[in-house]
Homo-oligomer: A and B are copies of this chain.
Amino acid sequence: MATKPTTVYLVGAGPGDPDLLTLKAHRILREADEILHDDLVPSAILAVANPAAAVANVGKRCGAKTMTQEQINARMIQSAREGRKVARLKGGDPGIFGRMAEEIDALEAAGIPFEVIPGITAGMAAAASLGISLTDRHKSSHATFVSAHPARHDGEDVRPDWKNIVHPDGVLVIYMPGSNHARLRDELIAAGLDPQMPTALISRASTAEQTIQYTTLMNLGRVPPAAAPSILLIGRSLDRASRRQRAPELSVLIDEATSIFSHR
């Protein structure tokens, strides 16, 4: 008689600090027989796993895939059918730029039960580190989570539709901002965003390696790329953080309009 497959857990690892795991994610990681994780999940989070668990990095490393999506799907399905408790661990929240939809489709097609455990997404961890509210009654009516990584359609790179995404009263929370900040600045200004808009690039939010670089959209091209995962926040509700940062006791380096500093 075939045994009933176990539930596959699609788990948000949060932004990097193990203290920002949810209680539920923490428990599932401790109990899982098998953990299939994305590349950017830090070792401090994998250290939560049961020492007897099989832990595999199934992510992309510098663009090179260690496993194809089909292989990941097949492994989750096989392990669930064998009665193993599988945690598919994704950085941040699994439903925000986590490519979860394909995996859910495969699990559903195979009749495998699944549960999604939300996590703290990097954009919200970045805002928390800056001490700002993404939405603000007076400065920001909405926040848009968008990836600057181009989508591929019919073999062509399609850039985000910035003209219909940017808004003077919104905050942009840009995932995967890439290394060409000058091009991104040009696209956003061409789409109508105010060049004076306060901007912050946050790398590895919530971890000991966190860095924050404050600037304006106009000067974004002069900000060097930061280590992944990084988040670019742009909008008026960042006024508070950049004002605070300009206080002399906090400034480490200021050049004309762009100031760069890092703190924990």
Q: Does A121 contact B (CB under 8 A)?
A: yes
| Interface pair B128/A118, CB less than 8 Å apart | yes
Proximity bits, A6-28, B CB within 8 Å = 1, else 0: 00000000110111111110110
Residue pair B164, A167 in contact (C-beta under 8 Å):
yes
Cβ-based interface call for A244 (8 A): yes
Does A161 belong to the interface (CB within 8 Å)? yes
18 more A-B contacts (CB under 8 A) besides A20-B22, A120-B120, A135-B145?
A19-B23, A20-B24, A20-B118, A22-B23, A95-B135, A96-B135, A104-B131, A114-B131, A116-B128, A116-B129, A116-B131, A134-B145, A142-B144, A142-B145, A142-B146, A142-B147, A144-B145, A145-B145
Interface residues of A: mostly helix, strand, loop or mixed?
Answer: mixed
A133 on the interface (CB 8 Å rule)?
yes
Q: Mark A158-181, 1 if CB is under 8 A from B, else 0.
A: 001100110101100000000000
Does residue A125 face the partner (Cβ distance < 8 Å to B)? yes
A237 is an interface residue with CB less than 8 A from chain B: yes
**Contact residue among B101, B125, B160, B165 (Cβ-Cβ distance under 8 Å from A118):** B125
Question: Nearest B residue to A239 by beta-carbon distance?
Answer: B101
A99: nearest chain-B partner, CB-CB? B137
Contact A128 B167 (CB under 8 A): no
Q: Which of B102, B135, B146, B147 is in CB contact (< 8 Å) with A97?
A: B135
Chain A contacts with B in 94-122, Cβ cutoff 8 A? 94-102, 104-105, 108, 114, 116-121
A143 touches B141 (CB 8 A): no
Interface contact A160-B141, CB-CB below 8 Å: yes
- Residue from B105, B120, B146, B237 within 8 A of A141 (CB atoms): B146
Asked, given contacts A101-B240, A137-B101, whether A124 binds B142 with beta carbons under 8 Å apart, the answer is no
**What is the copy number of this chain in the assembly?**
2
9 contacts between A and B (CB under 8 A): A22-B23, A94-B128, A95-B133, A95-B134, A97-B135, A104-B133, A141-B151, A164-B167, A165-B167
A41 in the interface (beta carbon within 8 A): no
Which positions 196-252 of chain A face chain B at CB distance < 8 Å?
237, 240, 244
Q: Is A93 on the interface with B (CB-CB < 8 A)?
A: yes
State the Cβ distance, A112 to closest chain B Cβ, in Å: 12
**Which B residue sits closest to A241, measured CB to CB?**
B104
